[in-house]
């Protein structure tokens, strides 16, 4: 009997390294997935973060040009999405005999149109922001006149309020509505 127990233990030990090897292979794959998603995120940003030079004046010509490029690229991406939506709706428009299929298609179109309406408003906001750049009024808070900051503007290029004024506005809105 002792020999059977001894043979079972080594068999169990052999299985454990196989599991560990399997775990190691999945661990090795995870960073690759993380890298690919990070690459996708980098592609989504579609710009190189601005690095101000020592002693550079806030909202210099180089900075204004940096933000103008970001806004124009963003606007062109939104316009391409609008064109894709129009062609998609033309291609997918079909009169389904089944009422449930028709309802599903109408709901999909409704959601798509709602999204495009939001993007249309965003395009207007981008255009007004480009006008602010042309008028040398970009990068400063509408409420207090303080610099909004390059990092905040890269995160939200259409921002018109500094982080403090925006936080206060959100608190006031929450108190009035909530």
Q: Could you tell me if 114 and 141 are in contact, meaning their C-beta atoms sit under 8 angstroms apart? A: no
Instruction: Tell whether 67 and 130 lie within a shared domain.
Output: yes
- What is the predicted pLDDT for the residue at 86? 87
Among 74-78, 84-88, 91-95, the range scoring the smallest mean pLDDT is: 91-95
State whether residue 147 is helix, strand or coil: strand
User: Is 19 domain-assigned?
Assistant: no
- What is the predicted pLDDT for the residue at 40? 29
- The overall average pLDDT reported for the chain is 79
| CATH number of domain containing 98 | 1.20.120.910
Tell me the mean pLDDT in the region 153-172.
96
pLDDT of 37 higher than 90: no
- What is the predicted pLDDT for the residue at 48? 86
User: Is 9 domain-assigned?
Assistant: no
User: Is 44 domain-assigned?
Assistant: no
User: Is 174 domain-assigned?
Assistant: yes
Q: Which residue has the higher pLDDT, 92 or 75?
A: 75
Q: Could you tell me if 123 and 78 are in contact, meaning their C-beta atoms sit under 8 angstroms apart? A: yes
Instruction: Tell whether 64 and 134 lie within a shared domain.
Output: yes
- What is the predicted pLDDT for the residue at 45? 60
User: Is 117 domain-assigned?
Assistant: yes
Report pLDDT digits (tens) over 101-137.
989 999 999 999 999 999 999 999 999 999 999 999 9
User: Is 152 domain-assigned?
Assistant: yes
Instruction: Tell whether 166 and 128 lie within a shared domain.
Output: no
What residues make up the domain containing 82?
56-138
CA distances from 76 to 36, 53, 81, 104, 126 (A): 25, 29, 9, 30, 11
- What is the predicted pLDDT for the residue at 7? 42
Q: How many domains does the chain have?
A: 2
Instruction: Tell whether 101 and 157 lie within a shared domain.
Output: no
User: Is 162 domain-assigned?
Assistant: yes
Spatial neighbors of 130 by CB under 8 A, at least 6 apart, are 68, 71, 72
DSSP 49: P
Instruction: Tell whether 74 and 120 lie within a shared domain.
Output: yes
User: Is 101 domain-assigned?
Assistant: yes
Report pLDDT digits (tens) over 149-158.
999 999 999 9
């Amino acid at each position: 009997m002792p020999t059977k127990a001894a043979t079972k233990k080594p068999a169990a030990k052999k299985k454990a390294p196989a599991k560990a090897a399997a775990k190691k292979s999945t661990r090795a794959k995870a960073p690759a997935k993380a890298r690919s998603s990070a690459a996708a995120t980098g592609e989504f940003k579609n710009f190189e973060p601005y690095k101000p030079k020592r002693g550079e004046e806030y909202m210099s010509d180089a900075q204004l040009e940096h933000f103008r490029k970001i806004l124009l690229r963003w606007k062109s991406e939104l316009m391409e999405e609008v064109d894709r939506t129009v062609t998609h709706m033309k291609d997918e428009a079909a009169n389904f005999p089944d009422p449930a299929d028709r309802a599903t298609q109408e709901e999909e179109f409704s959601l798509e149109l709602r999204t495009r309406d939001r993007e249309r408003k965003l395009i207007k906001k981008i255009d007004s922001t480009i006008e602010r750049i042309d008028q040398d009024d970009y990068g400063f808070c509408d409420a207090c006149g303080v610099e909004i900051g390059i990092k905040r503007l890269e995160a939200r290029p259409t921002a018109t309020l500094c982080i403090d004024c925006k936080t206060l506005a959100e608190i006031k809105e929450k108190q009035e509505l909530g």
